[in-house]
Structure 1
Amino acid sequence: MSSGGEGFGSITWWGFSPVLDLQNEVLESNSSMDIPDEDGKESESLNILIVGAGDCRHIIKTIAQRKRHKHKKIHFYVIENNPELLARHLLLMTLAVEPQDKMGLQEKTELFLEIYGNTLIRQQTYQYIQDKANLFIEMTADLDYADERMPIVDMSQMKHKERDILQGVFKFWREADPRYFDVSNLWDHRLRCYLGARYDNRTGAFDWDLNMKLHEIGAKVISKLEYLRWREKGIAFEAREGVYDRPNKTLSSGMFIKTRDGNTVPMRGYWGDMVTGPFVTFGIESEEQSLYKLANGQHIKNSQDITLHNLLALFHELQTGAKYELPPEAADSDCSSKVVEIEDVEMDAEVTGENHEHDEDSHHAQQHHKHKHKEFYAPIQCDDVCVHFLPLNCLNNIHSKTKFQKLFNVVFMSTSMVQQFHPVLRPMFANDCTLIMELATFILDVNKDQASGFAKRVTEMARDVGFELAAPINPAQTFARFVFKGA
């Protein structure tokens, strides 16, 4: 059989660039945000199109940090090419907005890490996925119930057939028999196909990719221990000691494989990235500069520590509306942040969010009363946010619809789907729309010349659509930014 793709994989379970606050990415030249409407009022909404991001990282950060900016109603429009990606978006967003009385910050951060980047997870994480799979089956079957349970998510624009497919994904998640997704053997098979003759010396190959590629392009906080563990087993994060022996079925997807006799057959497996890893998205950049301290020329903190801090800070801000500040004793400590930081934040959240919880008590009680026969409790309230799941692969089909004309103020295009960016899309962009193109910097199977060529190609594609480069691109960048100037 074929290998099912190179190290990049055929499905992007995580992005290949750091997380962004997309509201902060609106360029200063974006005057369309302040143009009065027919009633003389400034625009009160921000419309963001996210194409092929592979995860919901930008959505979570933008929601969490929205109170740092001028208040606007934020609409996210999400396009992916696989139903399993939308299923993961729904799961991780549901986890992010779990209220504090149901899940503390420490547990939330650890669960998120495992689901996000590990092929093998702990039993309690496995159970959480099964429980939410039952919830999502109910939600996809009853959109009114979905609006009550997760009001920030809108699935109404998806096709009925696509929601049926999503139900099939969730039913697979709740299947208890781990033999249906033997991810350890599937990982090893992909690894053998990818490395070929280098498999027996794979540790050397992994070390080369880490030191000569990831570290060279700026990700020096990724430690050898965590990177080699992930390359060998697919376990990126071990935030808590425990037994990681249950398959993470959210990383399972289907693919058509050509057999040796020439037939094409569907096969479920792990078809995602096996080279870069889930470290880049949350684990190499942070507002907290103390995480980059060196001792004897080596980073004290690693990518897991930074990921833990960043996620914890986002969940704290999402819950309280206040920016998280690392306690001085934690900033000065050389030990791992996974216990000190999380416990301190959780205590802070209990104090800061006390009044917030009091305000929501009656809301929780009311909602419990409505749906006694279904799981229901109110998530963290985000009344000024809506995430719209659009039909799969619909980018080149929506430009002619009236409701999308001059709608989008911000557009994020991933490396994996940038080939769909064509001039026919021009009517969808508002004046001075900000375009963010993910570059191939962190795709390790791409060399420097190819990455440079890719950057030039996406620049040409953007210009063909009517965008102008906002700033010159240098080789170390992970994004190219453009502003829409029309025809």
Structure 2
Amino acid sequence: MGARDARHIIKTIAHLGRHTSFTGNVNFYVYEEQAPILARTMLLLSIFLDQDHEASDSEQAQLFLEIYGNVFLREKSSEIMKELSTKLLRLLCDSTGSLVSLLNFSALRFRDRDDLEVVFKFWRDDIRKTFDIGKLWEMRLRRLHGTRYDVRENMCDWDYHMKLLKQEVTIIHKTEYLRWREHGLAFEVRDSTYDKPNRSMATIDLMKQDGISVPKWGFFNDVITGPFVPFGVESENEDLVKQVNDQHKHTSGDVAEFNILAYLGEYKRNFHSVNSLASRVKVHILPPVSEPFLALKKLQKSSFKFAGIFVSNSCAQHIPKIPPRFVSETTILIVEMARYMLDLKAEQVAAFKEKVLEISKGAGYHFIENGITSTGPGKVKNDDFAIFASDGLDSSFYSAF
């Protein structure tokens, strides 16, 4: 719920081969609040799972990170995105393409399909439908910094040292972070020109026009934290995140590219084609409606139970609405905390966690522990996630899991 990209699906697919004792099928049910965000998840899955066989793994990883994290693209990447938009449009409308056996659209209404079709056509039509992301980025920065816009570099430097580094993510270099804050570029290929708008970052919001609120394409995403955390701050290759004389030898971009390459390698070793993956994995696309579990109405007679539920911090208010019929005593609930929301004060981050604990308990879940992630050698507990179990499940089950 509300992950806004495909990172959890991709990592789970990549690591599926590690769980040799598990031979069953995996079903993902994906909910997002807007059609453009849902379409972007499909695009990132398409890049990861179904790239041109002529492209090397390195090129594929770079393309993925570029579309995932940059507001501007290389011309080549922009053209590839247009091609993928056409493929996704045909997949949605004509049920053709290599992902047809993997993605399930049966829960979508005609209106939802129409909305996704509008998004895919917007992505590929850069002549009639302009999208000046450079201007939109500047507008967001001016609104963020206000009267201090002219000294924004100092403001970014403060955010980096006094907020981001306090979250123990020193692998994100200052130059990377400042480049993102100023230009919206997080992952770059050497000696490349980035001048094409990344239209997959466009979302729709109500804006005033002649005194009336009308839906318009715009850029309403993060301009503070950056896209480094999901792929670029930890790795199974501990040499990448080690420090020498209190300095990192590698950047967050290096870590992110290594991780995507590692995921690609595992995926291709375990599943030699999308069809072989689809024999075990299905991704169900749910309607982007205001009440997420209304999207499961067609499944109300089904007897399945969710093994795990991931809820982003933007969707935490929906936890009490999870239908009990989809929850068993072995269901794990993972809720994203507000650790990396740098615009919040420390007391606000703590208050958010307390609120999540309160509503989860009220919904019949009990807290197990904070999420555990690696920070170089060894592991530490932090507040990336809070993990809950449904009543009847104790922490010993989770430990074994």
Give, in whole Å, the separation in 2 of the partners of 1:252 and 1:138: 21
After the TM superposition, which of the residue ranges 126-135 and 415-424 deviates more from structure 2? 415-424
Q: What residue identity is the alignment partner of 1:484?
A: S
Give, in whole Å, the separation in 1 of the partners of 2:220 and 2:233: 24
Q: What residue identity is the alignment partner of 2:264?
A: F
1:75 alignment partner, one of 2, 5, 27: 27
1:65 alignment partner, one of 9, 12, 15: 15
Q: Deviations over 1:128-158 (max 9, x none)?
A: 0111111122111123x25x54321111211
1:120 alignment partner, one of 58, 66, 72: 72
Secondary structure in 1 matching 2:323: helix
After the TM superposition, which of the residue ranges 295-304 and 277-286 deviates more from structure 2? 295-304
8 Å CA contact 1:408–1:429 kept in 2: the answer is yes
Q: What residue identity is the alignment partner of 2:148?
A: R
8 Å CA contact 2:293–2:321 kept in 1: the answer is no
Aligned residue runs from structure 1 range 261-272, under 5 A: 262-272=211-221
1:134 aligns with 2:40: no
Secondary structure in 1 matching 2:130: helix
Note the aligned Cα RMSD (angstroms): 2.2
Q: Which has the larger radius of gyration?
A: 1
Structure 2 unaligned blocks of 5 or more: 372-379, 394-401
Q: What residue identity is the alignment partner of 1:416?
A: S
How big is the shift at 1:183? 0.6
2:244 alignment partner, one of 295, 315, 322: 295
1:387 aligns with 2:283: yes
Give, in whole Å, the separation in 2 of the partners of 1:244 and 1:99: 21
Secondary structure in 2 matching 1:435: strand
Give, in whole Å, the separation in 1 of the partners of 2:226 and 2:313: 15
Corresponding residue for 2:399?
Answer: none
1:435 alignment partner, one of 333, 336, 339: 333
How big is the shift at 1:399? 6.5
Cα separation, partners in 2 of 1:133 and 1:388, compared to 1, 3 Å: same
Q: What residue identity is the alignment partner of 2:32?
A: E
Q: What residue identity is the alignment partner of 1:172?
A: F
8 Å CA contact 2:370–2:381 kept in 1: the answer is no
1:447 aligns with 2:353: no
Q: What residue identity is the alignment partner of 2:263?
A: L
Q: What residue identity is the alignment partner of 1:395?
A: P
How big is the shift at 1:177? 2.5
Q: What residue identity is the alignment partner of 1:54?
A: R
After the TM superposition, which of the residue ranges 467-476 and 210-219 deviates more from structure 2? 467-476
Higher strand share: 2
Q: Deviations over 1:276-327 (max 9, x none)?
A: 1100100111111001222331111111011011111001111113xxxxxx
TM-score (norm 1): 0.74
Corresponding residue for 2:45?
Answer: 93
How big is the shift at 1:179? 7.0
Give, in whole Å, the separation in 2 of the partners of 1:316 and 1:188: 38
8 Å CA contact 2:28–2:283 kept in 1: the answer is yes
Give, in whole Å, the separation in 2 of the partners of 1:102 and 1:161: 37
2:57 alignment partner, one of 87, 101, 105: 105
After the TM superposition, which of the residue ranges 430-439 and 388-397 deviates more from structure 2? 388-397
Give, in whole Å, the separation in 2 of the partners of 1:87 and 1:299: 36
Corresponding residue for 2:398?
Answer: none
Q: What residue identity is the alignment partner of 1:456?
A: E
Give, in whole Å, the separation in 2 of the partners of 1:421 and 1:164: 28
Q: Percent identity?
A: 35
8 Å CA contact 1:425–1:465 kept in 2: the answer is no
Cα separation, partners in 2 of 1:106 and 1:423, compared to 1, 3 Å: closer
TM-score (norm 2): 0.89
Give, in whole Å, the separation in 2 of the partners of 1:276 and 1:93: 23
Cα separation, partners in 2 of 1:71 and 1:296, compared to 1, 3 Å: same
Cα separation, partners in 2 of 1:472 and 1:157, compared to 1, 3 Å: closer
Corresponding residue for 2:223?
Answer: 274
1:313 alignment partner, one of 248, 256, 262: 262
Secondary structure in 2 matching 1:220: coil
Give, in whole Å, the separation in 2 of the partners of 1:153 and 1:241: 36
Cα separation, partners in 2 of 1:310 and 1:75, compared to 1, 3 Å: same
